Amino acid sequence: MKSIIMTIVFTALFVTSCSAKTTKEEPVSDTKNVENKVKTIHLTKAQFLKKVANYETNPTEWKYLGDKPALVDFYADWCGPCKVVAPILEELANEYDGEIYIYKIDTEQEQELASFFGIRSIPSLLFIPINGQPQMVAGAMPKANLKDAIETVLLKNKTVENNL
């Protein structure tokens, strides 16, 4: 009986020391670097009204308030496809840094925004060019398709200008 108890104690100590060692060896700087690389911008309703469109003062006409095209991701933390799209959007935010904004709106926290845009499935992506009407796409998209949409919907005027 004594040997069984000793085995259990040593096993518990071994498991505990291994898990503690793993957490100690994680470099703190890597965690900070990941946080610094985040380029997507989480918006509340109040921020949306100031940065994107104030639908409360002008509910019948779309007027984009930003100075660069934007992509708005309507998501929820529990949504599997949203979790697949999130790192892709981070990559695109880094690739298109300075050219477009990539905003994220949590539909659980900002239900009024989700309702205003008629979000029925997530992820839903709202592409907002500087001029013209926004376009909504429901569902997860692969990175290549997102890049194509960014180039053709959001940056189409820039592409035309560069070719002239």
Active site amino acids: 79, 82
Q: Which residues pair with 75 in a beta bridge?
A: 106
Running DSSP on this structure, what letter comes out for residue 97? T
Q: Which two tokens stand for residue 9?
A: 């104690």
Q: What is the per-residue DSSP string for 40-90? A: -EE--HHHHHHHT--TTT-SSS-----SS-EEEEEE-TT-HHHHHHHHHHH
Task: Please list, residue by residue across 136-159, b when 16 or more beta carbons sit within 10 angstroms of its beta carbon and e when fewer do.
Answer: ebeebbeeeebbebbeebbbeeee
Q: How far apart are the two ends of the chain, measured CA to CA in Å?
A: 86
Q: Which two tokens stand for residue 70?
A: 């934007």
